[in-house]
Structure 1
């Protein structure tokens, strides 16, 4: 299983944020694809079109996890094949290089790929909310973070939230020590054990941090900064696949939409089917955390949110340009919604 993470920047790279971009994401966008390694949308197994996918580790991935475990795409002729990667950096590299067809990916990583020139488009949402900044006892505001350490993942939605929270509080990122981690469990353990003063984490790990370090508190859950239903992870696809086999992408979108409906109808069963397989935490912790980071496939209402966050990432030095409007393409999502009116009407979370 892959973890949502970045590189251990301070100890390994000792470079600028722009250096991280050039060293990782930009390299992914320009990486040559070995002949015959992957023909997107063409690999077939048992009469099904196999779509290779990567994913992260948070609850925002629950939709694609259920689609895979319950074979929710197979009714429309598609088999999901997960490519296991150790880190989100590897997820970004493989997706940007065209070695997988689709990916559930933090919107921030998607933005960096687009800025680096990778031929990818956002086609649907995946999960919303659940990005949470937790601080140790005595830290109650952005001002209290001055001189303190914050753990996060580099170029991640979590780092963007920490940046936007501090900017809203009039505190510069230069006033805190940012520490980058490699895995979700590692970062949670660092906070719980007192190695860092604050942590910006996803669910179910944020709840774990809050419960296991006495006196800790939530500084922001993103709702006060962004509003209800803000995005975390999204579903993105290679443009070549969109051109060659849009039906396969629609099958993935529909499968994830069915997964959302199932997770909303029977949350306990959805978590039980994925705990231990994709989440390195207990079923009890997952149950406590799930309400903070639900599945939401229709994120058309977040279009402006993505553009605004690319502006934050420019200020952080990760991208040079604003996210171009054409990078976000809801057309196949529109078709899935139109063709599955009853399913869409049954969803609790949606844009319409």
Structure 2
């Protein structure tokens, strides 16, 4: 939530009542709202605009974590204030209801919000690749998964990958036992301990699953289905913030581009700063996993990918309509890139 953009308690409750998520009213009623969320604190430094943000748990969030930890938005007058949520469902609920104004969010959850009528736009990328489907010993193909259990998150990019992998080989989703989990550590533990036969997970947890269950095999890393540079999480913002304070949004985008640059230049230092705090993983496992899920903020080359995945979401029954082109708004990203040519030129992963 932007302190200077006038998101009032009345507006928040109006947003909640409109029910941007399936069963959103019930979800909001049961969600424990973090203390202080409805009464924003003053920015730590005078004159800074505080923007409340949510995020997930995967390496696709590394850019916003580094922007936060290194205060990379403050030179442009913005303080990032994270609202920590227990699950991805809570992230989507808070963002859809307008209790936070920006979020690093799985593209699939963004698609469901748009379909439900939430006033949100995709404004930049966050991380690419890193969605990995892993089978237990003896499972080597889609056909081997028939009658077996697959663990994932509901309506997540991970579930879409599992669906697309099976569909490619003509295996129906109804032919497998899909089990849904709430948190990344819980999902990884279920596979490692043998409670499920396969898992679709993000990094660094996918690497944990591979290393800690004997005989585990990668069935798909997404690249075989989608090609290199496919999206996982993206940066999205609520339309009122985009209209009322675009400069604050540009500060966040610039901060995340700077975070990408810094992580590309010294990934070990970036991972050291986030291991334990944001990732329930050792530094060694993080470093091994990071190469599979790098930061990429400029994802203007993924428009076709997002459109195609919305078709998958529709086929799965999560949305009624395909993602409209106007839901992707790269305007502010393009402005930041134009205004910071040297920064952009220094990036390894980008559209141009």
Asked if these proteins are the same fold (TM beyond 0.5), I'd say yes
2:108 matched to 1:112? no
Q: Which residue of 2 aligns with 1:12?
A: none
Q: Which residue of 1 aligns with 2:162?
A: 162
2:21–2:96 contact (8 Å) kept in structure 1? no
Which structure 2 residues correspond to residues 65-76 of structure 1 after superposition, within 5 A? Answer: 65-76=65-76
Offset, 1:22 = 2.0
State the distance in 1 between where 2:62 and 2:313 align.
Answer: 26
Q: Which residue of 2 aligns with 1:244?
A: 244
Q: Which residue of 2 aligns with 1:342?
A: 342
Which structure 2 residues correspond to residues 83-162 of structure 1 after superposition, within 5 A? Answer: 83-162=83-162
Alignment length, in residue pairs? 327
Task: Give secondary structure in 2 for the equivalent of 1:51.
Answer: strand
Offset, 1:182 = 1.0
2:275–2:282 contact (8 Å) kept in structure 1? yes
State the distance in 1 between where 2:303 and 2:27 align.
Answer: 27
Offset, 1:281 = 0.7
Offset, 1:24 = 3.7
State the distance in 2 between where 1:348 and 1:218 align.
Answer: 27
Q: Which residue of 2 aligns with 1:303?
A: 303
Task: Give secondary structure in 2 for the equivalent of 1:127.
Answer: coil
Offset, 1:120 = 0.4
CA-to-aligned-CA distance 1:9-28 (integer Å, 9 cap, x gap): xxxxxxxxxxx952249977
CA-to-aligned-CA distance 1:58-107 (integer Å, 9 cap, x gap): 00000000000000000101000001111111100100010001000000
Q: Which residue of 1 aligns with 2:200?
A: 200
1:296–1:349 contact (8 Å) kept in structure 2? yes
1:26–1:116 contact (8 Å) kept in structure 2? no
State the distance in 2 between where 1:293 and 1:169 align.
Answer: 25
1:21–1:318 contact (8 Å) kept in structure 2? no
Q: Which residue of 2 aligns with 1:220?
A: 220
State the distance in 2 between where 1:221 and 1:332 align.
Answer: 31
Task: Give secondary structure in 1 for the equivalent of 2:144.
Answer: helix
1:134–1:218 contact (8 Å) kept in structure 2? yes
State the distance in 1 between where 2:26 and 2:347 align.
Answer: 37
RMSD: 2.0
Offset, 1:45 = 4.3
Q: Which residue of 2 aligns with 1:8?
A: none
2:48–2:79 contact (8 Å) kept in structure 1? yes
2:21–2:113 contact (8 Å) kept in structure 1? no
Per the alignment, do residues 170 and 26 of structure 1 end up closer, same or farther by CA in structure 2, a change over 3 Å counting?
A: farther
State the distance in 2 between where 1:93 and 1:152 align.
Answer: 19
2:341 matched to 1:321? no
